[in-house]
Structure 1
Amino acid sequence: MIKILMIEDDVELAEILSEFLSQHGIEVVNCDEPYTGISAATTQQYDLLLLDLTLPNLDGLEVCKRISKQKDIPIIISSARNDLNDKVEALECGADDYIPKPYDPKELLARIQSLLRRYNKKPAQERGLPNKNNLFRIDHDAREVYMQNRKLELTRAEYEILTLLISKKGYVFSRESIAIESESINPESSNKSIDVIIGRLRSKIEQDPKKPKHIISVRGVGYKLEF
């Protein structure tokens, strides 16, 4: 049976959708509070996340960003906020689909089924599974990174920075963007602190940390990953 997590503070709507989806072989677990939802999404196994944007205490876009950084799970945004900027930002934060409220539950069912079909066809390396052509493998559930099947012993900050660099191979990240994207790093951290973490990462993945071939410095900008 398909099991999805819903983060929706409209309890009546959640009950209606849960009852409808259960008739089509989909079990729904709803959290009406964002922090409870984040905890459930990142510590338990679900096939898909259905997320509202207008939530108490924490905006749904931030919820989407936090979950997508920690968990490899398909995400559908379900929201009455129809502003184009919200849609764009939701997709940039890790959402896979956006369905505006109100909608027919039949349309939601079709989108869930379509997304799960696409997701299950993703190449192995995109799901964090082993691939002989990939130097790195990320296990999002365990928050671990493997290099040529060797588990890297990483601090939380090192894990966040390395997976960020891996996510966009060849893309140059500024030190400022690295700090912003890493939850365990203060966005106001000095460039020096980022450089220190990069130095530690190089010592763990480079044959010669003084002549790095993977984490490359881009003068005046930041860092990129090559492999």
Structure 2
Amino acid sequence: MNKVLLIDDDVELTTLLQEYLVEEGYDVATGTDGGTAIAAAARNAVDLIVLDIMMPRMNGIEILQRIRKLSQVPVLMLTARGDDIDRISGLNLGADDYVTKPCSPGELAARVRAILRRANQPAAGAATDTLRAGRLVVHPGNRTAEWDGQPLELTGTEFSLLEVLARNAGQLISKQDISKRAFGKPLTPFDRRIDVHISSVRQKLGLRQDGQSRIKSVRGQGYQLLLD
């Protein structure tokens, strides 16, 4: 049974979401402050954290920053409707996904299922053999990757994207195909999640000797993992 931690100071909403997720088969704990989330991440005590951005004392962005210094536990952010800055900031800092409030329990449960599915197993239909693309080594079986012999600290979402790029190294692959292969769903209009996550993976891979990013962006078409 996957353990989910809900962090939100809206007790009524948290209770509603907790009851729904429990019925869906999750072991659910709740908290009203960032310290609870940070402590759980430090102990590896949960499989996923649902974190509201608008929190008292320490907001969700600050909490996420501290969590990512300790753990790569999946984090699903709850954001205000239309607040693109917070969404992009959260994704840049390593959030796996976001849901806008007010949200239905069904929508939240669907996002939780999708994130945990990506975190717990290789992408659908993917082989578990080791992938090699230049100095990049990807292990789909345990969802880890190395660059030049050094482990890469990747969130579950970042790993899923990198795996798709590694399987198609040197080839241009559209964002629509990336979304379908990495997440099992089509890309929706104006959705920038892939762009933001790719930006984070780029930083972790560093630059080529010629100063170019190792993940090339082709405007209006998609992305390509360049081989050294």
Which TM-score band (shorter chain)? 0.5 to 0.7
Gaps of 5+ in 2: 124-137, 155-199, 212-227
Mapping of residues 36-185 of structure 1, within 5 Å: 36-80=36-80, 82-120=82-120, 121=122, 124=139, 129=144, 135-137=149-151, 168-171=204-207
Q: Quick check: 1:128–1:137 contact (8 Å CA) kept in 2? A: no
Alignment gaps of 5+ in structure 1: 141-163, 173-215, 219-226
- Please give the per-residue CA displacement for 1:53-84, whole angstroms capped at 9, x wherever unaligned: 01111111111121123211111101225311
Aligned residues: 151
- Structural RMSD (CA): 3.2
Q: Is the 8 A contact 2:49 2:76 kept in 1?
A: yes
SS in 2 for 1:91: helix
Point out the structure with max Rg over C-alpha. Answer: 1
With normalisation by structure 1, the TM-score equals 0.57
* Residues 18 and 27, structure 1, Cα contact 8 Å, conserved in 2: no
How far residue 47 of structure 1 moved from its aligned partner, in angstroms, is 1.2
**Retained in 2: the 8 A contact 1:128–1:138?**
no
Q: Residue 21 of structure 2 corresponds to which residue in structure 1?
A: 21
Alignment TM-score, normalising by the size of structure 2: 0.57
CA distance in 1, matches of 2:94, 2:142: 14
Off by >3 Å, runs of 4+ in structure 1:
122-131, 137-140
Any idea what SS the aligned residue of 1:6 has?
strand
Q: Cα–Cα, structure 1 residues 76 and 125, in superposed 2: closer, same or farther, change >3 Å?
A: same
The alpha-carbon distance between structure 1 residues 103 and 130, as it changes in their structure 2 partners (threshold 3 A), is closer
Distance 1:87 1:139 in 2: 21
C-alpha contact 1:78 1:99 (8 A) present in aligned 2: yes
